[in-house]
Structure 1
Amino acid sequence: MRDELDTMGPVDYLVVEFPEARVPSEVLSRLVDLVDQGIVRILDLAFVRKEADGSVIGLEVADLDGDGELDVRVLEGAASGLVGRDDMDEAGAVIEPGRAAAIVLYENLWAIPFASALRRAGAGLVASGRIPVAALLDSLDAVEAATPADA
């Protein structure tokens, strides 16, 4: 277990809601690019749709982008079962009826050397978070507005 821990990067998840209950092909190709570049490893990928009555159903990886071609080849092996039914229900609770969501569980491969060095040094992660881009831009605008013009 210790050897495996030393060769893993931080693991994150995303729940991304899509209008019209389909995933644009550009989104899938950008995800594949991140994998191909060795930036992330997809540990699990699941899709759900919230029905008008509020029920949540899992979607098969098939023609996710509605282009008439099966997307299974692109995402083959991405469904590991780590994302369970409870996770799908939680994702469904935050999306609007009639929409779909992708649940992506991924390892940050780019961070493995840094994370390994931290573990070897006895360091431990004590907090983590994510700042939405819109909130960051709003904060930067507020700082700029508060800065005197002659500073």
Structure 2
Amino acid sequence: MTETSLDALGPVDFLIVEFPEGQSNFTGEIADELVKLVDAGTIRVIDMLILAKDQDGVVEAMELSDLDELGPLQAIETELAELLAEEDVDKLAAAMGPGSVAGVLVYENLWAAPFASATRRAGGQLVANGRIPIQAIVASLEADQISDDFRD
């Protein structure tokens, strides 16, 4: 991470993927797909945590280096910057339900780095961004289909 010039950085995002109590099905597929994104140069993983929240709301945060068996994530673990602080963990864990486990991923969008650099050199700056949940897109497409069917 330290080898990258600040001017050359792409947008940095984070996400939290929660697995509610009793609903996780870890097969290794998630790790495999994350490694594929890194290997393809689509993203660079900056930090990654596993959070476990008990029924009383007590949160345990684990870095990848704290885990015994990393499998394909071993290659990613050596590059992590450990950017997230304890106060970040508290804020992230607030989004979790009791008894759940969550993965927190902070990553650079390498695919967008040249565009971001060109934008900064031109004097531009990011003032807003967002993400549309896939459920909202599906609902919108279904509503459009129903509307089209009704017109026919």
- Bin for the TM-score computed over the shorter chain: 0.7 to 0.9
Q: Does the 8 A contact of 2:48 with 2:63 survive in 1?
A: no
1:66 alignment counterpart = none
CA distance in structure 2 between the aligned counterparts of 1:5 and 1:70, rounded to whole angstroms: 30
> Would you say how many aligned residue pairs link Structure 1 and Structure 2?
143
Q: Which amino acid aligns with 1:129?
A: G
The two structures, once aligned, show a CA RMSD in angstroms of: 2.3
Q: Which amino acid aligns with 1:95?
A: M
Q: Does the 8 A contact of 1:47 with 1:59 survive in 2?
A: yes
Correspondence list, 1:11-30, <5 A: 11-19=12-20, 20=22, 23-30=26-33
Correspondence list, 1:48-59, <5 A: 48-59=51-62
Gaps of 5+ in 2: none
Deviations along 1:80-122, one digit per CA (max 9) or x if unpaired, are 2211112212222221222211110000000011112222222
CA distance in structure 1 between the aligned counterparts of 2:36 and 2:119, rounded to whole angstroms: 28
- 1:117 aligned counterpart, secondary structure: helix
CA distance in structure 2 between the aligned counterparts of 1:76 and 1:31, rounded to whole angstroms: 12
1:33 alignment counterpart = 36
Change (3 A) 1:5 1:59: closer
Change (3 A) 1:60 1:43: closer
2:140 alignment counterpart = 139
How far 1:9 moved relative to its partner? 0.4
- 1:53 aligned counterpart, secondary structure: coil
CA distance in structure 2 between the aligned counterparts of 1:142 and 1:22, rounded to whole angstroms: 31
Q: Does the 8 A contact of 2:9 with 2:108 survive in 1?
A: yes
TM-score, normalised by the number of residues in structure 1? 0.82
Q: Does the 8 A contact of 1:91 with 1:101 survive in 2?
A: no
TM-score, normalised by the number of residues in structure 2? 0.81
Q: Which amino acid aligns with 1:28?
A: A
Deviation >6 Å, runs of 4+: none
CA distance in structure 1 between the aligned counterparts of 2:112 and 2:8, rounded to whole angstroms: 10
Gaps of 5+ in 1: 64-68
Q: Does the 8 A contact of 1:8 with 1:112 survive in 2?
A: yes
CA distance in structure 2 between the aligned counterparts of 1:8 and 1:33, rounded to whole angstroms: 20
Correspondence list, 1:2-151, <5 A: 4-19=5-20, 20=22, 23-61=26-64, 62-63=67-68, 69-71=69-71, 73-147=74-148, 149-150=151-152
